[in-house]
Amino acid sequence: MATIFKTHHSRFAHPFKETHVPLPMTRIILYVQDVASLKSFYQQYFDLPVVEEIENEWVVLGAGAIELALHLAGPAFRHAVPADTEARAETSHVKFVFSIGQDIGTHRDRLAGNGVTVRDLKRYDGFAYTMYDGIDPEGNVFQVMQAD
């Protein structure tokens, strides 16, 4: 949250009044091993349109209110991740969450049928969503959720 300070103009000295203005998140940058592979994955399964691109180095995908940018990792980091996507997913600290308006079971089955690692559908008491988790080709965890 940004802090903007405003002064109060009067003949008496008044302290600054602090006003908080939220800063909207506009883009998430993910450093990746293979830009083209992940671009294809997120376009094929999540219909994310390309906003800008430098082939095989950088692509920005429109993802609703924010953008998902895929940036080719620097040479020192290109092979620093486990080759096994399951192993990488186990150590992931980030999960991309997508909302779906259509039948979530059909979407999950489509991914599973194409060899994408996906977990079972799940629900939690007091949470009005059905969801499932999956793993993209580089081991990044994603979740798809559908409101009741």
61/49 Cα distance (integer angstroms): 5
**For the chain, how many residues are written?**
148
Same domain, 99 and 145: yes
> Domains in the chain: how many in total?
2
**Is there a contact between 61 and 53 (Cβ–Cβ < 8 Å)?**
no
Q: Is there a domain that residue 66 lies in?
A: yes
**pLDDT digit string, tens, across residues 63-115:** 999 999 999 998 777 666 556 667 666 777 889 999 999 899 999 999 999 99
Which conformational region is residue 61 in: left (phi greater than 0), alpha (psi within -120 to 50 degrees), or beta?
A: beta
CA pseudo-torsion sign 137, 116, 55, 52: negative
Q: Is there a domain that residue 105 lies in?
A: yes
Same domain, 71 and 129: no
Domain that holds residue 64: 25-75
* 141 has pLDDT over 90: yes
For the chain, how many helices (H) and strands (E)? 3, 11
Q: Is there a domain that residue 109 lies in?
A: yes
* 116 has pLDDT over 80: yes
Where does a domain end: 75, 104, 138?
Answer: 75
- CATH code, 47: 3.10.180.10
Report which secondary-structure segment, H or E, holds 39: helix 35-46
